Amino acid sequence: MDLNFTPEELAFRDEVRAFMREQLPADIAQRIKSGLSIRAEDTTRWQKLLFSRGWGAPTWPKQFGGTGWNPVQLHIYDEESAAAGAPRTIPFGLKMVGPVIMAFGSQPQQQRWLPRIVSGEDWWCQGYSEPGAGSDLASLKTRAERQGDHYVVNGQKTWNTLGQYADWIFCLVRTDPNAPKQQQGISFLLIDMKSPGITVRPIITMEGAHEVNEVWLENVKVPVENRIGEENKGWTYAKFLLGHERTNIAGVGASKRELHRLKDIAKQETKNGRPLIEDPLFAARIAQVEIDLMALEMTSLRVLSAEAQKRTPGPEASILKIKGTEVQQALSELMMYAVGPYALPFERGSREEGDLHSIAGPAYAAPLAATYCNYRKVSIYGGSNEIQRNIISQMILGL
Question: In whole angstroms, what is the distance from residue 241 CA to residue 225 CA?
Answer: 20
Asked whether residue 318 is domain-assigned, the answer is yes
Select from 179, 202, 233 the last residue of a domain. 233
Contacts (Cβ under 8 Å, ≥6 apart) of 111: none
| Alpha carbon distances (Å) from 283 to 40, 273, 334 | 37, 16, 10
Asked whether residue 266 is domain-assigned, the answer is yes
Q: Which residues pair with 153 in a beta bridge?
A: 144, 220
Total number of domains in the chain: 3
Select from 72, 89, 106 the last residue of a domain. 89
Same domain? For 265 and 210 the reply is no
Residue 241 confidence (pLDDT)? 85
Asked whether residue 114 is domain-assigned, the answer is no
pLDDT in tens, 326-335: 999 999 999 9
DSSP sequence for 315-369: HHHHHHHHHHHHHHHHHHHHHHHHHGGGGSSPPTTHHHH--TTSSSS-GGGTTHH
Confidence band, pLDDT 50/70/90 cuts, at residue 378: confident
Same domain? For 228 and 195 the reply is yes
pLDDT in tens, 174-212: 999 888 777 899 999 999 999 999 999 999 988 778 999
Residue 364 confidence (pLDDT)? 86
Domain membership of residue 229 as a residue range: 119-233
Asked whether residue 35 is domain-assigned, the answer is yes
Select from 89, 108, 127 the last residue of a domain. 89
Same domain? For 132 and 68 the reply is no
Same domain? For 386 and 266 the reply is yes
Same domain? For 229 and 254 the reply is no
pLDDT in tens, 129-149: 999 887 778 889 999 999 999
pLDDT in tens, 237-281: 998 887 665 556 678 889 999 999 999 999 999 888 899 999 999
Question: In whole angstroms, what is the distance from residue 361 CA to residue 343 CA?
Answer: 9
Cβ–Cβ under 8 Å, residues 135 and 383: yes
Per the model's pLDDT, the better-predicted residue between 225 and 399 turns out to be 225
Asked whether residue 240 is domain-assigned, the answer is no
Whole-prediction pTM: 0.85
Asked whether residue 100 is domain-assigned, the answer is no
Question: In whole angstroms, what is the distance from residue 222 CA to residue 215 CA?
Answer: 15
CATH of the domain at 342: 1.20.140.10
Same domain? For 140 and 275 the reply is no
Asked whether residue 94 is domain-assigned, the answer is no
CATH of the domain at 44: 1.10.540.10
Q: Where are the beta strands (DSSP E) in the chain?
A: 124-127, 143-147, 150-161, 168-174, 186-192, 198-204, 210-223, 227-228, 270-271, 274-275
Tell which residue, 191, 145, 146, has the closest CA to residue 168.
Answer: 191
Q: How many residues does the chain have?
A: 399
Same domain? For 197 and 255 the reply is no
Same domain? For 209 and 127 the reply is yes
